[in-house]
Structure formats: structure tokens, C-alpha cells
Structure 1
């Protein structure tokens, strides 16, 4: 129990949250482009920069940063929960032994499930806020009018019921493999590099963070598209019973997408997503590693995790 409530887990959680917020803020416009490409099927522009230029031209210079605060709040909570759970479980399970790729994957998966169940309502609200006021090409999308995070929660519960806050939970649970795959590759690459040298440079950390995220994103991207559509939940064409995004709905949406756009329709917005997540993850891991190392040095503690 002590290791679950340990100071070390807290340091990892705070460093993970700060790292992700810093990185997301820097690359936020890329995420805006990705979300538009996923949800607004009738948008003709295929490339990230073309979509961003269109958004700026039609909706103003700050439009790529629309919904920044709710996203950052959700990300902060989400990463705090994820890093705290991941490092607590690792401390309990590994207990001074050497960590292995299999253990990292299992711990990453469990941490991801805990994270999804606790933070999905935040992500549903911020997907809605991020797309509010957007000029859609698809006329089947019902516009929203929320005054902020609290008002969005209130309106969704009032109009769609409490379970609507967990829209897209099923694909989100499947997507737990994304951070699990990412952490498995990240920890594995880190172990390999540490065999060859004593210490990793900032560039090493940045690069292995980027590679780990690129692999995880490409493998799980079609499910992310379905997740965005279900969370947004404002399409008039949605199948019945979309509440938790059952397997039937996920398969229905994947099938519709392939039928209308071919197999590449599943990867619409991948370029923007890869650019954003790879750079974001790399920068996040860099800030995370530096912050944890600096905090442990200042506090005169040594990290007990063996890699």
C-alpha cells in the first residue's frame, strides 16, 4: 500500500501531467486539424496545413486553439491518473526486480482502463467544446451551444442522459492498447539504449518517445476515428443505442467509413495525428524524464524503479 501512495508515484504523476500539458499546448493546432478531418467527412482538404489555413481563414486566427482549456484540463487529469496508476502498479508488481516488456504492457493496459473509466466524461465534453462554432462541410451535424465545461456537462446530462458522458467508452477501452503499446516500446527501446550507454541524452529520449508513439498511433488509428465520431455524438445519422459505443456500433461506423471512402477513409487525418502525437509524445516524455530526474535530485531521492 505504501508504494501506491508513495511520494515517488506522485512525482511521476505530476511530471507526466506537466509534460503532456506543455507538449499539447505547443502542438494543439495539429490536433484541431485531425479532429476536423475525422468528424467532418465532407471536408475536401486532405493535408494538415490546408485544413489549418481554411480554419484560420473562415473562423479567425485563434480558431486552431478553440477548446484549449477543456482539453488541457482533461489531459492534465488523464495523464495524472495514467502516470500515477502506471508507476504505482509497477512499484507494487516489480518490487526491486528487473522490469520486462510483458510487465510494462500489462501495467500500461490496466493503467489505461482505470484512466478511460475515470476520464471519458471529460473527453466527451472537450470534443464537443473543441468543435463548437466550427464551420462544417457535413450538413448532418447538429450544432451545439455550450457556455463552458460545466454548462456542457449540464446540457449533455439534461438532453442525452448521464450515460452520454461515456459515449465512445468501448472504442476507448480498445484504444487502451495505444498507450500500452507506446509504453512497452518506449521502455523497451530505453532498456536497449541503456545497455549501450550509461545515460540517455535529451535527443535519445525525444527520439524513442517519437518512435514509440508513431507505432502505437498507426496501429490504433481507425479506432480513434470511431471514438471521435461517438464522442462528438452530433451526427443525425448515428445508429441507435450509441451510448457506450457497443461493438455493433464500432463495426457499423468502420463499415460505413470503408464503404464511403475506401480503406484509406479509416486513416483520414492520420498525417495530422501522427505529426501532433509523435511530436507531443516525444516532447512529453522529454519533459517527464527531466522533471522526475530533477525532482528526485533536489529531494535527494533515488528513483527505485529499475529499467
Structure 2
């Protein structure tokens, strides 16, 4: 019986996180478009978020900032469902009713992130390709793609590049499990501090602020790897077929980082950070706000409000 309740609570967290993230990403999607262009299209002159969005609209049309919305939302929904479910399942199993600590949140966040990366990377590879398809690039070396949708993208990538291409960027993605792990560690820690041992529901303002702070710190720390991850997912690079996958991944990440620094300076690996911070901080803050409200309302209907807050 307790196992059933535990599984159901994890499901509530997973659905609440997925719905919150999808809604938040839809609201701030154009900012993610600007961030991705700044990371991948190295020769673009526009450097600020408003400038690049204005340039995209002028060159590609009013709806261009929302290009690739559907595959991104599908990927995000699956990714956050998996992450939230794993995080809260592992946390409940580990703690068994005891209060958590920052180190515990970090370890559980990393474990949940690894599972999430291995399961959902193919979706993110496809959504990156679709999001950039039809874009007017300022870098002549970028090869155009022609996918009719999510399924066609899967088929073409497997046919032209092999099944392994669906996991392009997995190595930096595994390193980037630190991003949500740090985010959740800070978020859960700040939440405990605000409650100070009293099981209560935080206000909307409190949730929004601590969600924004947590994501801002996590993004700033891990952004150089996020840039390399975007480049690898886009597939516009060459890997040596004569080395092992792990060694090849290490060399590729190192090569891309070094080349970027040599070409643009140390700030080159932080290109698009303004757009990323603006988008990801606002998105995460809104996502956590919606997640907490949906989960709280659901648990209240289940009559589990008090025990729910004590476990967190």
C-alpha cells in the first residue's frame, strides 16, 4: 500500500513538472531560439537578444522565433517527466521520511539526470535539428537539412548518420546533469530555509524567486558545456571513426572548446549566455511556480498536504 502511494506521489510530481515546464517554455520560447542561434551560427553579427530576434523576424518571418516549437515541447515534456519522476522516487526511497540535505539533493539530482539523458537525448538531437531547419545562417559551412517532421528526422538521421547519431552530445549532456542537480540542490535548500522547519506552502513570489536564483547559478556554472552540447546535437562537426566512442567524445569536446576560445576568446564559450539566462531563468521560475501550484492542489485533493510538505 505504501509503495502504491509512493509511486502515485512521484507520478503527481512528474506530471506537475512536465505541465509546468511545457507552459513556461511556450511563453519564453523566442528567447531559446535566440540563444540557440547565437551558439550555433558563429558568424552572426547581432550579439544581443533583442537584436537577434529582430533580425530573425526580418529575415525569416514573424513566426520564425517559434520554429521547432512542437518537437521542443515534446522533448521537454518527456524530459521533465522522467527527471521529476526519478528525482522524487529516488529521494523518497533514500530518505524514507527523513529530511533531505543539500548533498543528498545533489547526488539524487545527478542520478536522475543520468537516467534522463540516456532516455531522452535522441529527442533533443531531433528537436535541435528541426528548430534550426530553414534558418538563414550567416555561416557558409553549415549544411542545410530537410526533415518533414519528428519521425522523418529520426529516419533520415539513422539512415544517413547511423543510430549512434541520435546520441550526439551525450557526453557533454552527462556532464551537464550537474545543471539540474545544482538547480534542484539550491532550490530545495532555499525552500527548506524559507520554511525553517515549518511545513507550509510557499507563496508564489517566494517560489518564483528561488526558482530563478537556482537556475541562474546552475546555468552560469555549466554554460560552456551547453554551447558544445548544442553544436554536437546540430551535427555540423566531424568525428574520427578510428577512436573509441568515449575517447572521441572527450577529444571532440576539448577540440570544440579550444577552437572556440582561440577564435573568439574566453567569452566565445559564453556566447548567447544573455539570451540563455533571460530565457532559462524566467522559464525555470515560472515552471517551478506552476509545478508547486499543480502539485499542491493535487495533493490537497488527495488529502496528503501535511505529509507531503513534511517529506520535503
Q: Please say whether Structure 1 and Structure 2 have the same fold, judged by a TM-score greater than 0.5.
A: yes
Task: Determine the C-alpha separation between the residues in 1 that align with 2:12 and 2:5.
Answer: 12
Question: Which residue number in structure 2 is paired with residue 70 of structure 1?
Answer: 71
Structure 2 gap ranges (5+)? none
Task: Determine the C-alpha separation between the residues in 1 that align with 2:18 and 2:240.
Answer: 36
Structure 1 gap ranges (5+)? none
- TM-score, normalised relative to structure 2: 0.94
Superposed CA RMSD: 1.7
1:306 CA displacement: 2.0
Question: Which residue number in structure 2 is paired with residue 182 of structure 1?
Answer: 183
1:101 CA displacement: 0.6
Deviations 1:193-235 (A, max 9, x none): 1118754210000000000000000000000000000000134
Aligned in 2, Cα 1:127/1:292: closer, same or farther, shift over 3 Å? same
Task: Determine the C-alpha separation between the residues in 2 that align with 1:290 and 1:145.
Answer: 41
Question: Which residue number in structure 1 is paired with residue 24 of structure 2?
Answer: 23
Aligned in 2, Cα 1:135/1:4: closer, same or farther, shift over 3 Å? farther
Question: Which residue number in structure 2 is paired with residue 82 of structure 1?
Answer: 83
Question: Which residue number in structure 2 is paired with residue 123 of structure 1?
Answer: 124
Aligned in 2, Cα 1:259/1:153: closer, same or farther, shift over 3 Å? same
Question: Which residue number in structure 2 is paired with residue 288 of structure 1?
Answer: 291
- TM-score, normalised relative to structure 1: 0.96
Q: Is the 8 A contact 1:168 1:231 kept in 2?
A: yes
Q: Match for 2:203 among 201, 204, 218?
A: 201
Q: Match for 2:272 among 269, 274, 277?
A: 269
Question: Which residue number in structure 1 is paired with residue 222 of structure 2?
Answer: 220
Deviations 1:95-135 (A, max 9, x none): 01111111100110000000000000000000000000000
1:299 CA displacement: 2.1
Q: Is the 8 A contact 2:18 2:76 kept in 1?
A: yes
Task: Determine the C-alpha separation between the residues in 2 that align with 1:54 and 1:203.
Answer: 34
Question: Which residue number in structure 1 is paired with residue 141 of structure 2?
Answer: 140
How many residues are treated as equivalent by the alignment? 305
Q: Is the 8 A contact 1:171 1:227 kept in 2?
A: yes
Structure 2 residue matching 1:246: 3-state secondary structure? helix
Task: Determine the C-alpha separation between the residues in 1 that align with 2:205 and 2:65.
Answer: 28
